A = this chain, B = another copy of it.
Amino acid sequence: MSRAYDIAAFREKIGAIRSEENPVLVKQKSRDFYWYSPVLKRELDAVTADIVVSPTNEAEVANVLAAAHTLGIPVTPRGAGTGNYGQAMPLTGGVLLNLADMNKVVSIGRGRVVCEPGAILIDIDKATAASGQELRMFPSTRGTASVAGFVAGGSGGVGSITWGGLRDFGNVLRLRVMTMEAHPRALELTGADLHKAVHAYGTNGIITEVEMPLTAAYDWVDLIVGFESFDAAAAYGLALGEQDGILKKLVTVVANPAPHDYFLRHRSLVPAGKSVVILIAPQSLDAFAAFTRPFRRAKVLFDSSRASPEALKGLPPNYELTWNHTTLRALRVDPSITYLQVRYPESMGLGLIKRIHDKFAPEVIGHLEFIRFNGKIACAGLPMVRFTSEARLQEIIDEHEAMGAMIFNPHRYTLEEGGMKQTDAVQLAFKRETDPQGLLNPGKMVAWEDPNFDFAAGKNFLFPGLEARALAAEG
């Protein structure tokens, strides 16, 4: 089922809206960081759109959607393309809706900011700084990621140790979403309705405006604390996470040998060994020191509040050592590295983390991110894996699950397979309303593409449109 879209007719319908059809440039804009996964690299390498369109306002977005709807052309929205699972990759071609030019900060209030979808997270923080405010959370790609891309394709990240995740009530205030219809409508989502569009990869509406909560801004202090074992660092990280009076934005544990071997610019600061990476509010520094002192083996290896401007100059910020930037730094040194996403149930304590670490090291290099989850400090993992084969990767996943950990598989491009393997009924129902023809980001929502797909059968979902497209490209 090879498809050919009438791109010429589409171009005519959108008039003066900026577009790009140079295949090299279009392919550049059709990818994200899917290549962290050797599985997705194999599956998605050929993916490309037919045309990139870059609207500058909501009216132009409506124009694009109406045109594509009329012509039956799929539309895949994209912010800055910093996803890791092909969230913004147009599996079956068509229109790549580049929202990067809609990047204004519209208004700043006390505790809230309204932005266009393509606003870059660090730019939002720069804009809100004058009011003493900043976003509650951001991914490690803060410097390049867009706010709507974060909301539609991310989960939380830096800041989640205090605020939980984007899925939590209150961490996104409002989304304005356009439907994919002959006459696109703009819907305003608040409260529980936000769940329809948060982390839906743009499959059920195009976000044209985002309102996010703000919190107090500080000149956060970057700290790296070294420990002699991964377990000791994990225990320290959890205990620090549970210190209610110490305001922090990040508590990350990275196992030996990653800090010394992969954090190249920090190499002289971090001797071979283990480390904890932390962001602390300046006013919490004394408390941090008092809390840390009884951990006899803990050694503060880096403290940005005491470092000279020269020493700081060449160093990336701490948050760019964490979350998926940890993987990125590993990949730059050792291209065989990939990763997993793990949740270690609180009920099993740190013992499970130690057992898994002991079982798989050095093939799997431990990486923990402490977060707040349902009111408690919980532990997520993004362990690095020295990849040998897809079969072995699956074996490692199966053994994690058998030991009691939950895997959110980052080697899958669908919403369900990367998440809880359950159909999100709310998002599906919303898709029926907003995208009745299934033209938005096709192939990402299994529940839409194949309602009877059996997740328990042990096979991956393969989107037929992706295969057809690949065949067409070859032919």
Interface residues of A (CB under 8 A from B): 110-112, 131-133, 136, 162-165, 168-171, 173-174, 190-193, 213-216, 218-219, 241-247, 281-284, 286-291, 293, 372-377
Contacts and interface: CB of A to CB of B under 8 A. Distances in A.
Given A244-B164, A247-B170, A290-B191, A283 B375 contact: no
A10 B96 CA distance: 85
Contacts of A192: 290, 293
A244 B213 CA distance: 13
Contacts of A293: 191-192
A243 B132 contact: no
Given A173-B286, A213-B283, A375-B377, 20 more contacts: A110-B218, A110-B219, A110-B283, A111-B281, A112-B283, A162-B244, A163-B244, A168-B245, A168-B246, A169-B245, A170-B246, A170-B287, A190-B290, A191-B287, A191-B289, A191-B293, A213-B247, A213-B284, A243-B375, A244-B374
A245 to B, nearest CB: 3
A254 to B, nearest CB: 22
Nearest to A376: B376
Contacts of A214: 283
Q: Which of A163, A170, A242 has the most B CB atoms < 10 Å from its CB?
A: A170
Contacts of A171: 245
A218 B287 contact: no
23 contacts: A110-B218, A131-B132, A132-B132, A133-B216, A164-B245, A168-B244, A168-B245, A169-B245, A169-B246, A169-B288, A170-B243, A170-B246, A170-B247, A170-B284, A170-B288, A173-B283, A192-B293, A213-B247, A242-B375, A242-B376, A244-B372, A244-B373, A375-B376
A281 to B, nearest CB: 6
Contacts of A372: 244
B244 A375 contact: yes
Each complex incorporates copies of this chain amounting to 2
A303 to B, nearest CB: 15
Contacts of A215: 216, 247
Contact of A169 (B170, B219, B243): B243
Nearest to A282: B111
Nearest to A213: B283
Nearest to A291: B169
Nearest to A239: B375
A108 to B, nearest CB: 12
A150 to B, nearest CB: 15
Contacts of A244: 162-164, 168, 372-375
A115 to B, nearest CB: 15
Nearest to A193: B290
Contacts of A131: 132
A246 B171 CA distance: 8
A168 B110 contact: no
In the A-B complex, the 10 residue pairs with the closest CB atoms: A242-B375, A164-B244, A191-B290, A170-B245, A168-B245, A170-B287, A111-B283, A169-B287, A216-B216, A171-B245
Nearest to A293: B192
A193 B293 CA distance: 12
Contacts of A193: 290
Contacts of A281: 111
Contacts of A169: 243, 245-246, 287-288, 290-291
A163 B282 CA distance: 16
A226 to B, nearest CB: 20
A112 B247 CA distance: 13
B163 A245 contact: yes
Nearest to A289: B191
A374 B240 CA distance: 10
Q: Which of A169, A218, A372 has the most B CB atoms < 10 Å from its CB?
A: A169
Nearest to A218: B111
Contacts of A377: 375
A190 B286 contact: yes
Contact of A243 (B168, B191, B245): B168
Contacts of A164: 244-245
A375 to B, nearest CB: 3
Contacts of A284: 170, 213
Contacts of A173: 283, 286-287
